[in-house]
């Protein structure tokens, strides 16, 4: 074979192989096939933006026209560190697009990610109606072989139901690949978690599906990130088991904190020593008012319901859920022990989001605590750096302030409910001057108790002997 012929053959191979593996697309500008992401919530938006940043051409779809118009202009409806910059960058580079035309995007893509919500439904079960609607739409628009990856959190057996729905609504009987790729993103650091994950999981029933997913994630795999290739059933289990285990760690350390208070131990010292054991690890051993957010509360309940259908008792997970449900009442009890009746007591609350670095208030421990205090007749005055608007959608009558010091004016007590780092920078001498009673309840063990006591504050914390 002469040199000229060999060079031409290699050139043809390099040009054609992406089309042979994925299919062509008129918009394609990256090194892989075009991708459609259906759903632009936390998971979908972060996934779409980050895939585009890896070099892929991505169209994020949603039925919410107003949201799509905002996103197309680079306006992000959620607060997530680094996300705005990455969206703008990839909009400008023509790798990231937004559309309400889901059918057209499916037709023009070879790889589809499903990221719609699976909110808590009846009796704690996951509401799968949105994901089943998407599966039906995909089935009706399969005109050449596509690979479909589910990212939404779903209970065991759901991927097979999705497969059946797609097949039922696929009149041309076009073949397709289906896999489950669970996400492990933490709100507040989801971009970082996507770009530098602990592991990547793909559940698939054939090597082709797993290989295509691996190729899409190749830039991350090149960094040395482990890829776990599993069955679909194992991938479904991995997601729920992971979130449930972390929930158990949180509930465990909160129970240890209660025990520490009774015997005069310091939960921070205990947690540090426990966490240094490599078999345990230090993550999620921070005591507080309980876990919240869009994942742990919903996923643990859905996990319990799924297990129940198979006749399995997840007693450890159930105990974690029960422990978490009691955290707000325990804090209220401590306040009652200090003040007696809470009726008419003016309480300033710092933090409304379920955690720092996010404006998400879903299942927020801070809001649960506020509702419990309101039920006891307390008067609440609240501040959060970015979550106030979302909090008012849940509690529209909540008294909120744009300046934290104003919320503390004349307060009988101050509760730190969300561990925003900016609260460490408050002028606590000014806080002292503004408050009526100098009592601080730090439910996150964030503040320097020694410094606060030197000013004259009475300080209550979690899992420590309080003086």
Would you name the residues annotated as active-site residues? 295
Q: Assess contact for 130 and 116: CB atoms under 8 A.
A: yes
Q: How many C-beta atoms surround the C-beta of residue 250 within 10 A?
A: 21
Among candidate residues 442, 441, 438, the one with its CA nearest the CA of residue 456? 438
The CA-atom distances, in angstroms, between 135 and each of 113, 140, 272 are 11, 9, 46
CB burial readout 334-346, b (16+ within 10 A) else e: bbeebbeebeebb
Q: Assess contact for 152 and 116: CB atoms under 8 A.
A: yes
How is 259-303 classified by DSSP, letter by letter? Answer: HHHHHT--HHHHHHHHHTSTTT-STT---SS---SSSHHHHHHHH
Q: Where does 326-448 have alpha helices with state H?
A: 327-339, 365-375, 388-394, 404-407, 428-434
User: Residue 361 has what DSSP assignment?
Assistant: -
Strand ordering across the sheet containing 35-38? 96-99, 58-61, 35-38, 111-114, 146-150, 176-180, 200-204, 227-230
Q: What is the dihedral of CA 138, 141, 143, 146, to 10 degrees?
A: -20
Strand ordering across the sheet containing 413-416? 379-383, 346-350, 413-416, 439-442, 458-461
CA dist., res. 308 & res. 317, Å (int): 12
Q: Six-digit token pair at 149?
A: 């990856």
The pairing of strands 146-150 and 111-114 is parallel
Q: Six-digit token pair at 106?
A: 């499916």
């Amino acid at each position: 074979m002469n040199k000229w012929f060999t060079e031409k053959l290699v050139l043809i191979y390099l040009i054609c192989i992406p089309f042979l593996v994925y299919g062509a697309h008129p918009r394609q500008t990256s090194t892989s096939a075009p991708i459609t992401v259906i759903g632009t919530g936390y998971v979908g938006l972060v996934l779409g933006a980050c895939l585009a940043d890896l070099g892929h051409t991505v169209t994020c779809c949603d039925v919410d026209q107003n949201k799509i118009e905002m996103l197309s202009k680079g306006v992000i409806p959620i607060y997530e560190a680094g996300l705005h910059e990455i969206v703008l960058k990839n909009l400008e580079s023509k790798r990231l697009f937004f559309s309400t035309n889901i059918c057209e995007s499916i037709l023009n893509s070879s790889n589809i990610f499903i990221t719609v919500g699976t909110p808590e439904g009846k009796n704690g079960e996951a509401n799968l109606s949105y994901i089943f609607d998407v599966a039906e739409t995909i089935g009706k628009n399969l005109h050449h072989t596509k690979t479909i990856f589910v990212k939404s959190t779903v209970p065991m057996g759901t991927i097979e139901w999705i497969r059946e729905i797609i097949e039922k609504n696929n009149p041309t009987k076009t073949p397709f690949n289906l896999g489950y790729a669970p996400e492990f993103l933490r709100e507040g650091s989801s971009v970082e978690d996507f770009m530098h994950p602990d592991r990547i999981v793909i559940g698939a029933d054939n090597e082709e599906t797993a290989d295509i997913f691996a190729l899409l994630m190749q830039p991350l795999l090149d960094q040395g990130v482990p890829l776990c290739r599993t069955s679909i059933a194992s991938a479904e289990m991995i997601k729920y088991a992971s979130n449930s285990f972390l929930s158990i760690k949180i509930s465990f350390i909160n129970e240890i904190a209660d025990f520490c208070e009774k015997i005069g131990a310091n939960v921070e010292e205990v947690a540090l020593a426990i966490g240094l054991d490599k078999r345990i690890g230090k993550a999620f051993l921070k005591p507080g008012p309980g876990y919240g957010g869009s994942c742990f509360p919903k996923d643990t309940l859905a996990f319990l319901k799924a297990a129940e259908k198979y006749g399995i008792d997840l007693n450890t997970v159930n105990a974690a859920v029960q422990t978490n449900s009691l955290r707000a009442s325990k804090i209220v009890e401590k306040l009652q022990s200090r003040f007696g009746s809470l009726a008419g007591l003016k309480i300033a609350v710092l933090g409304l989001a379920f955690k720092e670095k996010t404006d998400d208030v879903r299942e927020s421990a801070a809001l649960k605590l506020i509702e419990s205090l309101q039920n006891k007749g307390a008067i609440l005055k609240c501040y959060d750096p970015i979550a106030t608007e979302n909090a008012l959608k849940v509690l529209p009558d909540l008294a909120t302030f744009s300046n934290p010091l104003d919320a503390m004016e004349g307060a009988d007590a101050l509760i730190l409910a969300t561990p925003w780092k900016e609260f460490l920078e408050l002028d606590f001498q000014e806080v002292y001057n503004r408050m009526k009673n100098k009592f601080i309840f730090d439910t996150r063990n964030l503040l320097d108790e020694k410094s606060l006591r030197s000013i004259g504050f009475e300080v209550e914390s979690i899992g420590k002997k309080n003086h």
